């Protein structure tokens, strides 16, 4: 599979010194508000099974977020879907909605435990066809503007779009605190934003197409360090 | 109660200027936006922030609708004596948040 950016750079490096400082200090990074919420949720019992995440998993989820999305029972799932599988299957609790405060808090808390670790998604065996589908989607032109992800993020990164630098789109810090959003958001939210931007109809939250794209993006950023919760402009 | 993150240096020399950071989770809804159905979204903001140092007010701020969500305040004060710094936010719809952090002055 082709990988265009010769030197991969996190969007962090394209941010202003002020925004970088905001991310670097846990006392100023607003994403930490969600991480603390997630830590509280982790220990709280939920559902008919009256179990908390901590009852099965203890405290340690170090490295887990760096390995998602991954294949489970022949299905590709991202971290959000993994959390919901646990909720419905083990806790017997209703699934959490995408972009809900609770789901973002839990993903941020799990992601935070892998901060600084290299991203290493599987690329063999059962994962391979999903990765190839994600690769194809990334290079497929879509929307009224007829643009593929690769045209901006592989071929024109570093240039400007409406005054803002175009990043390589390395998904190293999700869920991110985006200043434009005034809140935390998932990678799928970001992907849907881009699709709306090229006037395409975005895939629904949790759709296989989005998860395949997530997988390709994580594979593309393999070896880069996870920054969760990152701050982006 | 809303989540808060405060940063106070745990130790300082007497007379030293100390940097303090206080972050609070809040939507800071301006009251100027409309929902998808056209209804005005009511204002919901933090109105005041007060920091007290062993009971004495050392910093106060008023907030207005243009303030970002999850506001972060950075300010400085002079380390005078060991004790507790207390932070209090108050706003619309009865919103309150509190945090505190100890400091040792040598």
What ranges do the domains of chain B cover? 4-105
Interface of A with B in 31-70 (CB under 8 A): 32-33, 36-37
ipTM surpassing 0.85, yes or no? yes
pLDDT at A229 over 90: yes
- The residues near A223 (Cβ < 8 Å, ≥ 6 apart) are A118, A119, A120
* B44 has pLDDT over 70: yes
pLDDT given at position A1: 61
Surface-to-core class of residue B93, CB atoms within 10 Å of its CB (0-12 exposed, 13-18 middle, 19+ buried): exposed
- The shortest CB-CB distance from B23 to any of A30, A179, A183 is to A30
Which tokens sit at B85? 């710094």
Domain ranges within chain A, ordered by starting residue: 11-232
Distance, in Å, from the CA atom of A146 to the CA atom of A126, rounded to the nearest integer, reads 31
> Among residues of chain A, what percentage have pLDDT more than 70?
98
Give yes or no for B30 touching A (CB within 8 A). no
The CATH architecture of the domain made up of A11-232 is: Orthogonal Bundle (1.10)
Residue A2 has pLDDT above 60, yes or no: no
Q: Is B66 on the interface with A (CB under 8 A)?
A: no
- Best probe of the B interface among A19, A21, A30, by most B CBs < 10 A, is A30
**Is B105 or A3 the better-scoring residue by pLDDT?**
B105
Q: Could you tell me which residues are beta bridge partners of residue B98?
A: B88
Mark A191-204 as b/e (b = at least 16 C-beta within 10 Å): bbebbeebebebbe
> Are B28 and A183 inside 8 Å of each other by CB?
no
CB-based contacts of A51: which residues, under 8 Å, 6+ apart? A45, A90, A91
**Chain mean pLDDT for chain A:** 95
The per-residue pLDDT for A59 is 74
d(C-alpha A69, C-alpha A82), whole Å: 9
Q: Retrieve residue A200's tokens.
A: 């395409």
Radius of gyration of chain A (CA): 17
Provide the pLDDT for residue A140: 97
The pLDDT value recorded for residue A7 is 87
Q: Which residues contact A75 (CB under 8 A, 6 or more apart)?
A: none
DSSP B34: B
The per-residue pLDDT for B9 is: 96
Between CA A149 and CA B38 the distance in angstroms is 34
Structure confidence by residue, pLDDT tens digits, B67-82:
999 999 999 999 999 9
For B69, nearest residue in chain A (alpha carbons): A182
> What does the pLDDT read at residue A226?
97
Q: Where are the beta strands (DSSP E) in B1-106?
A: 4-7, 11-12, 17-24, 46-53, 56-62, 72-78, 83-91, 96-105
Cβ proximity of B62 and B45 under 8 Å: no
C-beta separation of A137 from A86 below 8 A? no
The residues of A carrying an active-site annotation are 194
Instruction: For strands A176-178 and A231-232, give the pairing.
Output: parallel
Task: Dump pLDDT digits (tens) for A176-221.
Answer: 999 999 999 999 999 999 999 999 999 999 999 999 999 999 999 9
CATH number of B4-105: 2.60.40.10
What is the C-alpha separation between A79 and A82, in angstroms, rounded? Answer: 5
Angle at B104 between CA B101 and CA B106, to 5 degrees: 160
Q: Which two tokens stand for residue B91?
A: 């706003």
pLDDT, tens only, A10-56: 999 999 999 999 999 999 999 999 999 999 999 999 999 999 999 99
What's the predicted TM-score (pTM) here?
0.94
CB count in 10 Å sphere of residue B5? 22
Give the HSE-up count for residue A149: Cα atoms under 13 Å, Cβ half-sphere: 26
CA–CA separation, B44 vs B28, rounded Å? 6
């Amino acid at each position: 599979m082709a990988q265009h950016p010769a030197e991969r750079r996190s969007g962090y490096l394209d941010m202003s010194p002020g925004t970088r400082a905001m991310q670097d200090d846990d006392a100023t990074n607003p994403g930490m508000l969600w991480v603390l919420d997630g830590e509280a949720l982790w220990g709280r019992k939920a559902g008919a099974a009256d179990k908390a995440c901590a009852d099965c998993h203890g405290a340690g989820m170090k490295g887990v977020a760096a390995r998602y999305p991954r294949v489970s029972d022949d299905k590709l799932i991202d971290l959000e879907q993994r959390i919901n599988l646990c909720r419905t299957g083990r806790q017997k609790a209703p699934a959490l909605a995408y972009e809900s405060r609770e789901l973002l808090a839990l993903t941020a808390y799990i992601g935070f435990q892998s901060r600084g670790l290299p991203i290493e998604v599987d690329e063999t065996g059962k994962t391979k066809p999903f990765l190839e589908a994600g690769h194809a989607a990334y290079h497929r032109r879509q929307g009224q503007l007829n643009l593929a992800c690769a045209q901006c993020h592989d071929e024109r990164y570093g240039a400007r779009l409406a005054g803002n630098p175009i990043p390589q789109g390395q998904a190293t810090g999700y869920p991110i605190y985006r200043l434009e959003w005034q809140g935390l958001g998932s990678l799928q939210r970001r992907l849907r934003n881009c699709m709306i931007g090229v006037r395409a109809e975005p895939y629904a939250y949790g759709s296989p197409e989005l998860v395949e794209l997530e997988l390709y993006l994580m594979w593309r950023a393999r070896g880069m360090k996870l920054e969760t919760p990152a701050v982006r402009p | 109660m809303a989540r808060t993150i405060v940063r106070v240096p745990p130790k300082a020399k007497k007379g030293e200027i100390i940097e303090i950071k206080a972050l609070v989770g809040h939507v800071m809804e301006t009251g100027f936006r409309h929902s998808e159905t056209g209804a005005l979204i009511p204002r919901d903001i933090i109105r005041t922030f007060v920091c007290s140092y062993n009971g004495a007010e050392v910093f106060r701020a008023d907030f207005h609708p243009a303030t970002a969500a999850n506001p972060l305040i950075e300010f400085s004060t002079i380390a005078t004596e060991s004790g507790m710094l207390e932070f209090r936010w108050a706003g619309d719809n009865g919103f309150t948040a509190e945090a505190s952090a100890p400091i040792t002055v040598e």
